[in-house]
Amino acid sequence: MENILRIEASARQEGSLTRMLSTAFFEQWKQDNASFRIMVRDVGANPPPSLHASWIAAAFTPETARSREDQETLALSDRLIEEVTWADVIVMATPMYNYGMPSSLKAWLDHVVRIDKTFSFDLARGDRPLEPTLQGKQLVLLTASGEFGFEPGGINDGEDHLTPHIQSVAKYLGVSEIQHVAIEYQEFKDDRFERSKNRALQSVRELASRMSLQKKKMAA
């Protein structure tokens, strides 16, 4: 049975396109393969706090030397890392805000990507001392933006700092495969937006079907 972690990063509950995509993904998965466990982490509704100096000091103190206060400081991070570790599949639904990710999602990542938990650090490895400790997870990235044309040669080529950022950091979540579905043109509310939305909904349903049936076959 698959463990799926659903991360929601839109600050909006009503009218959110990314929440619509993740809902469609789960409806389709359930229709094709009812056997999965889900955990929801809604950072849009409950943003984790930004990191502060005492968090960094606690994270870099060896586990056996941590005070009770250090342990309390890291409690939320421990919990968020447990959720990621538990997951086989991570469904991350996130808007583009100011050409990057929402600060709530960045705060979540800052709590999750942690030394001796999700990565190890060893200078004996030379110029690449960081190594992820988790592996084999699939990431389904569902995004929405008001503008469009972020692809190579597009009108906003080079302006997308959301997808590349998540691609860079995903290895520290143990992700080895990423599937991305995007809605664009939200701000234009025209035919292009309707087409982009419908295409994304179709893609997300096809993706959920493909993934869930593959898992079902593997479990049989």
Ligand X SMILES: Cc1cc2nc3c(=O)[nH]c(=O)nc-3n(C[C@H](O)[C@H](O)[C@H](O)COP(=O)(O)O)c2cc1C
Binding positions for FMN are 10
Assigned token pair, 55 = 């968090």
Site string for ligand X, 53-72 (x = CB under 6 A): --------------------
- Interacting span for ligand X (CB under 6 A) from 78-86, 94-102, 118-126, 173-181: 94-102
Q: Does 196 bind ligand X (CB under 6 A)?
A: no
Q: Does 17 bind ligand X (CB under 6 A)?
A: yes
Assigned token pair, 26 = 């789960």
All residues at 6 or more sequence positions from 130 whose CB lies less than 8 Å from its CB, including other chains: 119, 120, 121, 172
Q: Does 22 bind ligand X (CB under 6 A)?
A: no
Nearest distance in Å: CB 191, ligand X: 17
Give the total of residues touching ligand X (CB under 6 A).
Answer: 16
Please give the residue ranges that form the binding site for ligand X (CB under 6 A): 10, 12, 16-19, 95-99, 144-147, 186
